Amino acid sequence: MHNRVAFIGGQTGTWRVIAMSAVCGQPLSSVTAIDIVPVTAPPTHAPSVWSLHGIASNVRYAERHEVTELRARQEALGRPHARRAALIPIKKSDAWWDLAQDERRAIFEAQSHHTAIGLDYLPAVARQLYHCRDLGEPFDFLTWFEFAPEHSGVFEELVSRLRRTREWNYVERELDIRLERTSDD
């Protein structure tokens, strides 16, 4: 699977941990660095403290006009100037997953403006969502953001706006790991 990745937490890696906290729910063990590697079977990465797997999958809520606008404005991961990153693993409650598709879509966008809020921070904040609920992982999503150090402030604003939405009432576990790139590649 070319689109399946693992976030490997340990002592070495491309991304050095700046800060790591549990926003709600149980924390993960502290690590000093994170590597992001494509998942091949069997896993071949060196021993780590933890690893979280996710997959870049199809969109679940975005409608055509939103997909078009996102693609027009967003930039890819790996921009040289984007030396800061955030890994925010999220688990939503059973109450969320028991909702029908139209109910989840209504909370996600009509009430919480999730896509619209994200658009306000493009292209400064590059994003990638990895799904992992169906993989039997401890989280439902691994959300990954990359931005330049001078955009750290606007990134805080993005995160803060999302956490105040009605959608976030359904978040029962959320970690927040801030990182900076250790290498020049």
Q: Should residue 168 be labelled a site residue for a copy of itself when binding is judged by CB under 8 A?
A: no
Name 85's Cβ contacts closer than 8 Å, sequence gap at least 6.
15, 144, 145, 146, 147, 178, 179, 180, 181
Q: Which two tokens stand for residue 120?
A: 């306000």
Could you say which of 11, 63, 93, 150 contacts a copy of itself (CB under 8 A)? 63
Q: How many residues bind a copy of itself (CB under 8 A)?
A: 25
* 124, 148 Cβ separation under 8 angstroms: yes
Residue 135 within binding range of a copy of itself, rule CB under 8 A: yes
Find the binder of a copy of itself among 98, 110, 153, 183 (CB under 8 A): 98
- Integer Cα distance of 98 and 107 in angstroms: 13
**Largest distance between two CA atoms of the chain:** 45
Residues 6-45 that bind a copy of itself (CB under 8 A): none
Which residue from 73, 79, 81, 133 is in contact with a copy of itself, where contact means CB under 8 A? 133
184 binds a copy of itself (CB under 8 A): no
Backbone angles phi, psi at 105, to 5 degrees: -60, -40
Q: Which of 24, 59, 72, 95 binds a copy of itself (CB under 8 A)?
A: 59
| Site for a copy of itself, rule CB under 8 A | 1, 4, 55, 57-64, 66-67, 97-98, 100-103, 105, 131, 133-136
